[in-house]
Structure 1
Amino acid sequence: MSLELQHVTKQFGAKTAVDDLSFKIEPGKILGLIGQNGAGKTTTFRLVLHFIEATSGEITWKGQPTTKIDPNLIGYLPEERGLYPNVTIEEQLLFFAELKGMSRKHVLPEIDRWLAHAEVVGKKTDLVKTLSKGNQQKIQLISTVLHNPKLLILDEPFSGLDPVNAEILKSIVFEMSARGTAIIFSSHRMENVEELCDSLLMLKKGKTVLRGNTDSVKESFGHKRIRLKSPYQKAELLGLPGVVQISEKPGDILQLELENETFAEPIFQYVTKDGFIPMFSLEPPTLEEIFKWKAGEENE
């Protein structure tokens, strides 16, 4: 059950919010939709969900227009969360599950399983308003996946989560992917995109400025960084050809930035001329750095 967008454009008067957007996501795959605020991410979600109509282009699910998607096959976690504070956890989840066509008989065991999986602190008879913000966010996520959707859209799901709860959320995303769910999510936290996504697409002012397999995107920017642990001092290494700057990292690691990756081999030969060294790693830039470069460019 693949989702495909072909040359989709959305205009609001004179403003073009999404400009000629195309991508395809297969079952079990995770796409990271990234970009600054106002780049067109949420508009893209609303187009896929058929909340708004595209000005031009085509959006299909299993080859059929998205107007024919059974809404019970979709899970959507909006950036603006919404729970009923004065009902119990169980009542809240039952309500959302029944809206998606699940019977009470089938949903009750699933509620217990998901509450345990998400490590929700509290009893299912507790009122939603008594939960911490992090646990409320878990309940919101459970309500989004409880009916086992085939298409899952998550808008900034990691916002406000501490590292422990973020890891729990990631495990849920991976479980849904393993079940064959096609997943799109947006996040400003590039480390999560890097860890979770098979592919990514970056929007800037509605235009696609970066797309492809996550690792391939990083590799396309070249390997111009060396992480090094050796007896050599910073001052000596700064004198080597091709070394632009050096920064110190925890664990007595030096990070060398190079003019280009052709200088890496002679540097390796130099630092290993006396034998073994604990670390030499030639690396591409992080996704966070790539995001900042592309977001800051005036001309793509």
Structure 2
Amino acid sequence: MTDSLHIHRLQKNYGPLRALDDVTFSVAPGEIFGFVGSNGAGKSTTMRIILGVLAADSGEVRLGADLIDLERRRRIGYMPEERGLYPKMKVGPQLTYLARLHGMSAAAAETSARTWTERLGVAARFDDDVADLSLGNQQRVQLAAALVHDPDVLVLDEPFSGLDPVAVDVMSDVLKDKAAQGVPILFSSHQLDLVERLCDRVGIISAGSITAQGSVDELRTRDGQILEIVGPHPDSRWADGLPGVLAADYASDATRLRVHDDVDDQAILAAALAHGPVHRFAANPPSLTDLFRELV
């Protein structure tokens, strides 16, 4: 079985700027870990340190009990945010070349290149220059480049960027299949609905520090729940000061209250009814997007 990927207390400074501050998390075999944060939060820096493209000022990256060295990094499938394909090289020969750099034989490399272009829907472009492909198809080829050498670990920086819904489904299925084979998968994305749907666990990074991590359910329930009430006019600000209410958002379509888990929801309903008829009263955990807005 593939080892877990461990990132332990990474620090990285650029002069007075601290890009990473004690970043620690792990990705277990067969786990899909979503790494989310605003632009400049430290996601790409962390991934580049995992790959050895950057050196950390302190901290460690391990596969299982062992520090990652050059030989073990060859077993990682990496998809950079800035796409790294040769634009004037044909798709198939390029993938074959990259697979051979990872130690595959010529025959095995070409077979793998054809398998992955077929799986990712770009087999018809096997003999075309990368520059002649659409951005979405270039993205598919870039993922094939991360997969072509049958890696033990996947580290993918914004793999869904620029993809249409069909391509998102194809890529999601590939990641789920690799996870089912025991591969640890770390990927970053700004598409939080996709992260929420696809990931086993999520880490949120802000200003170089991990501000929250856990399963999606753990994160969504860590700070209470959301009550959505349709009825009372928002200008009344009817929920201000009610016991157990942590925050109130008086939108035109509904009032959304963040409340403690043990709040007396019947008391809140009674307060709403005191300001007019209530057409909807529902309790929901916050979405990952709601949590992200609060933490970042």
Q: TM-score range by the shorter chain?
A: 0.7 to 0.9
What is the letter of the counterpart of residue 76 of structure 2?
I
2:159 alignment partner in structure 1: 157
Sequence identity of aligned pairs in percent?
Answer: 35
2:75 alignment partner in structure 1: 73
The 3-state SS of whatever aligns with 1:224 is strand
TM-score by length of 2: 0.83
The 3-state SS of whatever aligns with 2:121 is coil
What is the letter of the counterpart of residue 54 of structure 1?
A
Task: Please report the RMSD computed on the Cα atoms of aligned residues, expressed in angstroms.
Answer: 2.8
The 3-state SS of whatever aligns with 1:28 is coil
Which stretches in structure 1 are left out of the alignment for 5+ residues?
249-254, 270-278, 296-300
The 1:280/1:11 distance shift into structure 2, 3 A limit, reads same
Give the Cα separation in 2 of the matches to 1:70 and 1:239. 58
TM-score by length of 1: 0.82
2:274 alignment partner in structure 1: none
Give the Cα separation in 1 of the matches to 2:281 and 2:98. 52
The 3-state SS of whatever aligns with 1:21 is strand
Give the Cα separation in 2 of the matches to 1:282 and 1:117. 41
- Report matched runs for 1:83-162 at 5 Å: 83-120=85-122, 122-162=124-164
The 1:265/1:91 distance shift into structure 2, 3 A limit, reads farther
Give the Cα separation in 2 of the matches to 1:45 and 1:166. 22
Give the Cα separation in 2 of the matches to 1:100 and 1:247. 56
After TM superposition, give the deviation of residue 291 of structure 1 in Å: 0.9
Give the Cα separation in 2 of the matches to 1:225 and 1:114. 46
The 3-state SS of whatever aligns with 1:193 is helix
Q: Which moved more, 1:124-133 or 1:76-85?
A: 124-133
1:200 alignment partner in structure 2: 202
Give the Cα separation in 2 of the matches to 1:14 and 1:292. 27
What is the letter of the counterpart of residue 157 of structure 2?
D
State the Cα deviation string for residues 71-102 of structure 1 (Å, max 9, x = none).
32111100001222233221121111111111
Give the Cα separation in 1 of the matches to 2:205 and 2:104. 36
Contact 2:192/2:289 (8 A) holds in 1: yes
1:20 alignment partner in structure 2: 22
Q: How many residues align?
A: 278
The 1:221/1:147 distance shift into structure 2, 3 A limit, reads same
Contact 1:61/1:69 (8 A) holds in 2: no
After TM superposition, give the deviation of residue 123 of structure 1 in Å: 3.7
2:178 alignment partner in structure 1: 176
Contact 1:89/1:125 (8 A) holds in 2: yes
Give the Cα separation in 1 of the matches to 2:252 and 2:183. 42
Which stretches in structure 2 are left out of the alignment for 5+ residues?
271-279
